[in-house]
Structure 1
Amino acid sequence: MRQPPFSIARHALTATMAACLALAGCGGSGNDDSSAGDTGTGTGTTVTAPSITTQPASLTLASGATGTLSVVASGSSLGYQWYLNGSAISGATASSLTVSSAGSYHVVVSNTGGSVTSSAATVTVSGASAGSDSESWTLSTGANSNDLAADSTTFQTVNIALGSLAVTSGSSALSVNAAGTSASVTDASGGVVATIAQDAYGITITSTATSALPLAFALSGSYAGSVTIYSDQAFRLDLNGASITSADGPAVNIQSKKRAFVVLTGSSTLADAATYSTRTLADGSEMDLKAAFFSEGALIFSGSGSLSVTSSAKHALASDAHVRLRAGALTLASNAKDGIRANDAFVMDGGTLKITTATGAGKGIKVEGKEDEDTPLGFIAINGGTIDITSYDKGITASWEAEDDADTATTADDPDPRVTINGGTITVTTTGTAVEDVLSPEGIESKSTLTINGGTLTINTDDDALNAETAIVINGGRIYAKATSNDAIDSNGTMTITGGVVVAIGAGAPEGGLDTDQNTFTVTGGTFVGIGGSNSTPTPSTTTQNTVALGSVSAGTLVIGDGSGKAAFAYTVPAAASAMLLSSPNIATGTSYTVYQGSTVSGQDETYNGLYLGSGMSYSGGTAGSSFTVSSTVTALGGSGNTGGPGGGPGGR
């Protein structure tokens, strides 16, 4: 669809220009200009406008340090006014200025004969900043100060109304100029810092601004085309009720390796095209196009609005760096591939995320990982917020494996594809059916260690609900994990449960609720139950909280009672199973218990997916079964259902 030509709303006069007009004359170039502007003084004396002999020089400061900008000018009775990013600095009226903040500084030197504006001096502050390329990660939480740097950064905003293609700016540091069907944005010294132009695919935004003058591009209205962004520095992308539907390729295509801070306001929508034509970069190489919303750099989402992305041909959202959701609502629908694909990391601190991948399509969230001699990444950290994923393939996976990407002989540059869940509410449902070496629709997978410290998880899958290559560690949270064809919770290495509440329902033999492939299985806390065809047996030498392994159990309420009416454990079994493994801090060493089925339970604090919780529970009635006295941290009551053996089954890795 042909778009109308650009409508350019010119920026009002900057503070500097206004100051010039208030005087008798103003330097046209904004630099060393000594145009006369002769002024009578009442005595017949002519005063010459000042000229700058030494321009202020750019500085790089360490974080917290100060520096000095200075200007040398010729002329009599000189006055000075310094500006930061186009705004006058109160009290900055000397020939020198002490600075500690990053930005673009200039000074206007004036007298009664006129004024002259200096060239811009850039002050850069090293350390964490919106434009910093230095990365420092805490993998267990995804902490990275650079991802938060936008909170303390003043961006200069360029507004782009997509419906009319009008470009404006309310920033006193910027001016907008028309040039046919394109627009250019200039800074206070007249240098071009950004251009907005139409091409065969849609709108292309090119930013050459420095880190001292960070730009924000605010998109609003509807557009039938693709928005492509190039930027030399980190920038902010404001989606203010924008609706972008591409006719070819991505809806938003960020060809910059710098951070994009995406701020959501109102309701925005993006949709890619069914076809992606080949595009080339300036150097002739083929442009990478991976998703309806794609970025070569990191994507950091925040704001109070929402964004819905629909992909017909590729991923819904992809970054060749990392994706972070701090706030806002993302709804992603992929009809061909993954909901989110990232190379380095996925981190979620808050907000809501809903992902749907179609039948035959891909994964909910996949972090690939890559070898890197400086900062090898490939992890997932979820700290809060709400996630709801319905995916055909895996729901959430940190998927890097050495055999898939062994470009170097050393392992020092290998990523750690760990998954850590510290909080939040996570619901995952996979719809595919596991086929060995073809499809493994697991719920949450780590090719390293899966650690759950908190949060509420509801995972329903055909393949493993939770799976890890090296270890599974459960320190807290609420976990409901159900797999119809494989293990509910499957570690190919060790498993440790120190706290939390877990209900794990696996398939029939040889699959089951809790599987560690004959590796160390440690229980020191928490309340859990695992049912299915089998369970691994906890390791007595490392287990300090009492566990009980049962053989076949029937559907209905099962109680571990002490004979006096006090229940140490109670669970409503949803369907008959050939093995049950359970543990609770209520089960005391030296106490004799009986297994009852069909009892009525009371006095519980709450019930979580059939598991009764509380320390003062009572039971009545029921049919008595096996009796036992706890003399070891691992008590087995017969039956072949509880083993330390491997789970096997399709997709178990």
Structure 2
Amino acid sequence: EETAAISSVDTSLLLSDEDDIANVTFSESASLNLSTGTFTTSNQSITLSSETKSDGSIYYTIDTASVSSGVKVTLTGSLEKGSVEIVPKKESDIQIALADAHITSGNYAALTVSKVARTFLTLTGSNSLTDGRTYGTGYSKAEGTDYYSASYTGSTEDAELTQKWAEGDDTKATLYTKGSLLISGSGSLTVSENYKHGIYSKDYIRIFSGNVSVENGGRSAIRSANGFILTDGTVTINGTATNAQHPNDNSRGIIVEGSEDSGAGKGYIYISGGTVNIKSTGKAISAKWELEEDAETETTDDDPNPVVMICGGTVNVTTTDVVIDSDMNPQTISYYDADGVLVSETSSCSPEGIEGKTGVIISGGTVSVQSTDDALNASLDENGFVNIFGGNIYLYATSADAIDSNGDINISGGNIVALAPMGSEDGFDCDGGLSFTGGNAVGLSGSTHAYASEQNTSCTQTTFVIESSYAASAGNTIVIKDADGSTVFAFTIPQNINSYGIITISSSSLQKGKTYTVYKASQISGGENFYGLYTSMPSVTDASSTGSITTSSEKSVYTLGEFNSFGGGPGAPDRNAFENGSGRPFGGTPPSDRGPRR
């Protein structure tokens, strides 16, 4: 299957006013007090059944399948060891109102919607769902069905050997819905799990309001097949399982899988408001469908669009695990997965901050990423892209690149600080073209790879690439002044960066046909800055000049010092084209001496 990048997302596929609960009517209702088991309903066709499972847990089933109209189910009280399954009419609307409700499950998911229905989850007060299942266990309704232990002597047809079997179910999340999951309300929900995923939708997840927290000791905190949308509200994720504890399967943040079955053009992550706070050991935010590897059909018409798009809100990400690059040093390992099944495969750990397999688009909001692997990553060969039109963006990769695109990087707006001070890593790393047409950006690289070279024709905004010896050291400030002595650019090198190779600077304040002097400044005062990048200039009281650059109308990229020049690319995409879905990024010439890709 040939691959082609889609350089925008079709928001109409997943964003609809009909998904706002204010526009939906629920004419029937039921309520269950989890503490007492008291059940009331407006319609006798809505039924409650309960069963005590072999693990001692109480399993409640609320069946609304015979009711055609929308049903609101309210849960209150506490269930110390049990589960709730809601069985709606297929393709209907179901509201689950959590009102100070708390469920701790046994060997089953805490809350399940078991038929494809649009699920509206509303939050009032403080609510919690805690999964009693543990990683490395094969749960099934009977041994020999799905899973069996080594001591089992019965029939094992179509079942897998697990290191530990238990009666229960292997539903993949603490909160699981077969249809879309739409969250709103003034309250909070805390999900805690140490098994697979915290929240999972077999369709898409959209959060309108409310506070959602996931304590994730399993695989993914929030995961869906077709998409994740944050309109408002707060999402807080804490992932604790390391790669050493769960090899190749450490705790991730927000993951969208993508699906050819139902997700043509979907599979993306779209954040337009609200707040996301993620601390994870694995990938924090990922639209993960591999166009090159996951395609199962010959046509591209059913392909998902694995893009992360941020146009508002606040996103704070930290990843912590050790990077294991399967390309540089491939090693086969054996380990037990979440179901306790022995797996042998190549060892890998990629704790990237924000990953869109096809691309990452940022046009607004505030983004802060501190990661061990790439902070922003687009891995689709040649056609991948990172496009930044606006926003305030801080990226710090301790063991990899700040921005890594296997295709192009296009920056036309925003304030961008991209730091990658380690070894051969880069602030801006691309196999295609690096284009600056607007914005204020600084990229600090451990390497001396100048992706913006003097031959670069895709940059229209004046860009300087400066060797570190001409710039500034840790805690000091690189200052650029014009011929009148006015400061037009300033960036303070972080205190913890003791060495680096080059610094790439692009700013709308750097004009053509001017002469600029570069200074190392140890004393500055005043001004306003975003992670050291000054948005209003400081006063400089102690500085020494290191060199000068004279610009002209003939080119946009200028260098000071000695390093490897890699840049290229025939041009940059048009912002309007990206917004209406018709734009495509452009390719370029990759560097010839690059090492293996991440």
TM-score range, shorter chain: 0.7 to 0.9
Q: Which moved more, 1:489-498 or 1:137-146?
A: 137-146
Name the counterpart of 1:350. 232
User: What is the CA distance between 1:163 and its match in structure 2?
Assistant: 0.5
Q: CA deviation at 1:541?
A: 2.3
* Cα shift readout 1:83-115 (whole Å, capped 9, x = no counterpart): xxxxxxxxxxxxxxxxxxxxxxxxxxxxxxxxx
Alignment of 1:423 onto 2:312? yes
Q: Whole-Å Cα distance in 2 between the matches of residues 649 and 355 of structure 1?
A: 34
Which residue does 2:409 correspond to in 1?
495
Matched, 1:569 2:569: no
Map 1:63-462; keep pairs closer than 5 Å.
138-139=10-11, 142-148=14-20, 151-169=23-41, 174=42, 185-186=43-44, 192-200=45-53, 201-211=58-68, 213-223=69-79, 224-232=81-89, 233-275=92-134, 277-279=139-141, 289-360=171-242, 361-372=250-261, 375-437=264-326, 438-462=348-372
Q: What is the Cα deviation at residue 151 of structure 1?
A: 3.0
For the residue of structure 2 that corresponds to 1:146, the secondary structure is helix
Match of 1:50 in 2: none
Give the C-alpha shift of residue 558 in structure 1. Answer: 0.7
Structure 1 residues 141 and 531, CA gap change in structure 2 (3 angstroms): farther
Query: Normalized against structure 1, the TM-score is what?
Result: 0.71
Distance 1:535 1:255, change over 3 A: farther
- Of the three residues 606, 612, 617, the one matched with 2:534 is 612
Cα separation, 1, equivalents of 2:172 and 2:27: 28
Choose which of 520, 524, 528 in structure 1 pairs with 2:433.
Answer: 520
CA distance in 2, matches of 1:462, 1:234: 42
CA-to-aligned-CA distance 1:40-91 (integer Å, 9 cap, x gap): xxxxxxxxxxxxxxxxxxxxxxxxxxxxxxxxxxxxxxxxxxxxxxxxxxxx
Counterpart code for 1:278: S
Aligned with 1:621 (options 529, 542, 545): 542
* CA 1:257–1:340: 2 relative to 1, 3 Å: same
2:271·2:311 contact (CA, 8 Å) conserved in 1?
yes
Alignment match of 2:478 (pick from 558, 571, 589): 558
Tell me the amino acid that sits aligned with residue 570 of structure 1.
Answer: A
Q: Which has the higher contact order (CA 8 A, sep 6+)?
A: 2
Q: Residue by residue, what CA displacement relative to the aligned partner does 1:279-312 show, whole Å, maximum 9, x if unpaired?
A: 49xxx99976001111111111000000000002
**Counterpart in the other structure of 1:485:** 399
Paired AA for residue 561 in structure 1: K
How many angstroms apart in 2 are the aligned matches of 1:193 and 1:293? 22
Q: SS at the partner of 1:598?
A: strand
CA distance in 2, matches of 1:142, 1:450: 18
Instruction: Find the residue that maps to 2:73 and give its secondary structure.
Output: strand
Asked if structure 1 preserves the Cα contact closer than 8 Å seen for 2:179 and 2:204, the reply is: yes
Q: Which amino acid aligns with 1:639?
A: E
Indicate conservation of the 8 Å contact 2:314/2:367, yes or no: yes
Alignment of 1:48-67 (within 5 A): none
CA positional deviation for 1:152: 3.5
Give the letter aligned to residue 521 of structure 1. L
Q: Which blocks of at least 5 consecutive residues in structure 1 are unaligned? A: 1-136, 175-184, 187-191
Q: Are the aligned partners of 2:263 and 2:304 in contact in 1 as well (CA < 8 Å)?
A: no
User: Structure 1 pair 308/642, CA: closer, same or farther in 2 (3 Å)?
Assistant: farther
1:322-357 deviations in whole A, cap 9, x for unaligned? 111110001101112111111100110010001111
Residue 561 of structure 1: how far off its partner (Å): 1.0
In structure 2, C-alpha distance between the alignment counterparts of 1:288 and 1:255, rounded to whole Å? 13
Measure, in 2, the Cα distance between the counterparts of 1:577 and 1:599.
18
1:382-406: per-residue Cα shift (whole Å, max 9, x none)?
Answer: 0111111011111000000134432
Paired residue for 1:91?
none
Taking only the aligned residue pairs, the percentage that are identical comes to: 37
CA distance in 2, matches of 1:431, 1:145: 38
Task: State how far apart, in whole Å, the 2-side matches of 1:389 and 1:269 are.
Answer: 19
Cα distance in 2, alignment partners of residues 304 and 209 from structure 1 = 31
Aligned partners of 2:396, 2:354: CA distance in 1, in Å? 12
Q: Report the residue type matching 2:405 in the other structure.
A: S
Shift of 1:219: 0.2
Aligned length: 491
Segment of structure 1 superposing worse, 149-158 or 234-243: 149-158
Q: 1:583 to 1:148 in 2, by over 3 A?
A: same
Offset of 1:210 from its aligned partner? Answer: 4.1
Distance in structure 1 (CA, Å) of the matches to 2:375 and 2:593: 13
Q: Deviations over 1:359-391 (max 9, x none)?
A: 323210110101137744211000111111011
Name the larger-Rg structure: 1
Q: Given the alignment of the two structures, is residue 504 of structure 1 paired with residue 424 of structure 2, yes or no?
A: no
Matching residue's letter, 1:577? Y
Q: CA deviation at 1:159?
A: 1.4
Corresponding residue of 1:597? 520
User: How far apart are 1:138 and its partner, in Å?
Assistant: 3.4
When structure 1 is superposed on structure 2, of 198-207 and 258-267 the one drifting more is 198-207
Q: CA separation of 1:609/1:396 partners in 2, compared to 1, >3 Å: closer, same or farther?
A: same
How far residue 648 of structure 1 moved from its aligned partner, in angstroms, is 5.8
SS at match of 1:455: strand
Secondary structure class of the residue paired with 2:409: strand
Find the counterpart in structure 1 of residue 330 from structure 2.
Answer: none
**1:264 counterpart letter in structure 2:** L
CA RMSD of aligned residues (A): 2.4
Contact 1:511 1:649 survives alignment (8 Å): no
Q: Residues 297 and 619 from structure 1, CA distance in 2 versus in 1: closer, same or farther, beyond 3 angstroms?
A: same
TM norm structure 2 = 0.78
**Relative to structure 1, is the Cα distance of residues 374 and 382 closer, same or farther in structure 2, using a 3 angstrom cutoff?**
closer
Query: Does structure 2 retain, via aligned residues, the 8 Å contact 1:524–1:544?
Result: yes
Q: How far is 1:480 from its partner?
A: 0.6
Matched to 1:566, the amino acid is S
**Residues 528-567 of structure 1: matches in 2 within 5 Å?**
528-532=441-445, 533=447, 534-537=449-452, 540-552=456-468, 553=471, 554-555=473-474, 556-567=476-487
3-state SS of paired residue (1:525): strand
Contact 2:64 / 2:88 at 8 angstroms: preserved in 1? yes
